[in-house]
Amino acid sequence: MAGARAAIRYAKAAISLAKSSNTAEAVNTDMSLIANTIAENKDLSEMLQSPVLKSAVKKSALLEVFNNINPLTVNVIDTLITNKRLSILEDVAVKFNQLYEELTGTDVATVTTVVPLTGDLEAKVLAKLKELTGKTVEIKNVIDASLIGGFILRVGDLQYDASVANKLNKIKQEFSLN
């Protein structure tokens, strides 16, 4: 829990610096790359968590992996190293992305479907989301064959489940109650 609170504090400080130096968009791109790379790479995640490796080794590995990042992003990494908090880098990056989305008034909607969304359907979903939320929305399409059909739409903490699997589960529950 303390790590999550610390990640929020570091992310807030980083977004404040990025706003004042007009590099918020570039740093957000870096933070997205960092968060996604750490989440997808178990070895990198374990390296950051390792108490055995020295901070200098971790920093050189990070700078090798993320070689074209903004100097402010490097400054965030240096600050985390100085404060012995490099293990929360992924959390800081995720929180930074969330704060940037709030700053720009952008939401990310996750649409889970059985097949990828077509361009036409994605445009319709974006239009409806803009109408409902009043914000600019980006769509992240997740493919899940277990839905059987339909979709699950998630924006922030709101979720609309129109999947066939969900409807079948509701019918199953109704039959089991009788």
SS (H, E, C) the chain: CHHHHHHHHHHHHHHHHHHHCCCHHHHHHHHHHHHHHHHHCHHHHHHHHCCCCCHHHHHHHHHHHCCCCCHHHHHHHHHHHHCCCHHHHHHHHHHHHHHHHHHHCEEEEEEEECCCCCHHHHHHHHHHHHHHHCCEEEEEEEECHHHCCCEEEEECCEEEECCHHHHHHHHHHHHHHC
Rounded to 5 degrees, φ, ψ at 155 are: -130, 115
Please give the single-letter amino acid code of residue 41: N
Nearest-10 Cα torsion for 36, 146, 170, 110: 30
Task: Determine how many CB atoms are found less than 10 A away from the CB of residue 142.
Answer: 13
The predicted model scores a pTM of: 0.69
Domains of the chain listed by start with CATH number: 2-102 (1.10.520.20), 107-177 (3.30.910)
Long-range contacts of 61-68 (CB under 8 A, 24+ apart): 62/89, 65/37, 66/30, 66/33, 66/34, 66/37
How high is the pLDDT of residue 105?
81
Residues of the chain with pLDDT under 50: 1
